[in-house]
């Protein structure tokens, strides 16, 4: 079986080299022409390096060369040889992906080559899981564990490593949808992702006023100096009120206020009370002792008698 696989691979290699050589000489191959001659020449160079490494059993070097050729030109023959190298290196998910590409895109291959490729694909699929992804919106980006794997619709299976996997679909103007799947080796699952339209933002309660000309353009004075003046005036009034309050608490007349506006201090009121008491006492001493004035025999009133001396 190993000898037959080696013969099949030699047929693939010779066919691919002939196809790229025909493209370089100006004749388009029957399967898929490259974008330009420069890309074809570079792909052929990497491909031939991979063939040489594969013949020597240096599969790591062969994989590196085939992968470089694949990045330049995604040709089905390159995919077949790249998948075989990945299968040798136990990169089962990548091997399944490239071998499936070969079976979908290959043209003009023999039935023996087709059977050999399917057998290698079955060997790789036994180690990984396969997911068929359906999305209700075309052109949606499909991601597996955050890595883009294509754009909807994807007609073929997507191969994933066993374990917990997250499948997601994204599209502008729609809410994202994601599913978590438990993948086992050799299993196949279907997942349907539904994208719903994102609701429109609510209208603002107070619409924004249209932008008009600035105050400088209208020639109006700025309100900044006025605001500064008002602030300074308020500060001065506050200082004056504070000074007046302190002066009243201490019993002194504040500067800048007349005598009539100040409140009499307590000691002045006490002095007035003392003077009033002394004046009343003096008046009592000077008051006459009789009940009234006495009349003389001639009818004239005589001078009253005083009980005290005049001070």
pLDDT tens, position by position, 136-181:
999 999 999 999 999 999 999 999 999 999 999 999 999 999 999 9
Claim: this prediction has a pTM higher than 0.75: no
Residue 154 counted as domain residue: yes
Residue 97 scores a pLDDT above 60 = yes
pLDDT tens for each residue of 115-145: 999 999 999 999 999 999 999 999 999 999 9
Residue 216 counted as domain residue: no
CATH code of residue 35 = 1.25.40.10
Question: How would residue 8 be classed by pLDDT, with cut points 50, 70 and 90?
Answer: very low
Number of domains into which the chain is organized: 3
Residues 71 and 132 in one domain: no
CATH code of residue 158 = 2.60.40.1120
Cis peptide before 196 (omega within 30 of 0): no
Structural domain boundaries enclosing 191: 128-199
Query: Is residue 29 within 8 Å of residue 19, measured between CB atoms?
Result: yes
Token duo for residue 27: 């004749």
* Residues 6+ away with beta carbon under 8 Å from 106: 31, 76, 77, 80, 113, 114, 117
Q: How far is CA 140 from CA 97, 101, 165, 175, 189, in A?
A: 21, 21, 19, 11, 20
pLDDT tens for each residue of 11-65: 444 444 444 333 333 333 333 334 445 568 899 999 999 999 999 999 999 999 9
H-helix segments, 106-197: 111-125
Query: Is residue 106 within 8 Å of residue 161, measured between CB atoms?
Result: no
Supply the pLDDT for residue 253: 55
């Amino acid at each position: 079986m190993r000898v037959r696989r080696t013969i099949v691979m030699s047929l693939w290699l010779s066919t691919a080299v002939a196809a790229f050589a025909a493209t370089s000489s100006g004749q388009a191959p029957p399967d898929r022409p490259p974008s330009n001659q420069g890309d074809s020449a570079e792909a052929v160079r990497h491909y031939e390096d991979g063939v040489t490494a594969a013949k020597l059993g240096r599969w790591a070097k062969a994989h590196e060369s085939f992968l470089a050729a694949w990045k330049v030109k995604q040709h089905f023959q390159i995919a077949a040889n790249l998948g075989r190298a990945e299968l040798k290196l136990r990169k089962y998910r990548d091997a399944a992906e490239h071998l499936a590409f070969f079976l979908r895109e290959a043209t003009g291959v023999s039935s023996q080559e087709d059977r050999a490729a399917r057998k290698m694909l079955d060997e790789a699929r036994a180690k990984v899981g396969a997911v068929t992804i359906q999305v209700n919106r075309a052109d949606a980006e499909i991601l597996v564990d955050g890595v883009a794997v294509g754009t909807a619709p994807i007609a073929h299976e997507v191969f994933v490593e066993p374990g917990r996997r997250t499948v997601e679909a994204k599209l502008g103007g729609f809410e994202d949808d994601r599913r978590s799947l438990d993948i086992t080796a050799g299993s196949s699952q279907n997942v349907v992702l539904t994208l719903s339209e994102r609701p429109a933002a609510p209208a603002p309660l107070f619409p924004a006023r249209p932008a008009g000309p600035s105050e400088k353009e209208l020639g109006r004075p700025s309100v900044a100096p006025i605001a500064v003046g008002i602030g300074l005036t308020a500060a001065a009034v506050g200082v004056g009120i504070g000074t007046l309050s302190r002066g009243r608490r201490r019993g002194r007349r504040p500067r800048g206020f007349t005598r009539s506006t100040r409140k009499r201090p307590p000691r002045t009121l006490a002095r007035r009370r003392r003077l009033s008491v002394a004046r009343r006492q003096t008046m009592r001493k000077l008051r006459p002792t009789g009940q009234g004035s006495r009349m003389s025999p001639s009818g004239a009133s005589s001078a009253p008698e005083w009980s005290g001396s005049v001070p």
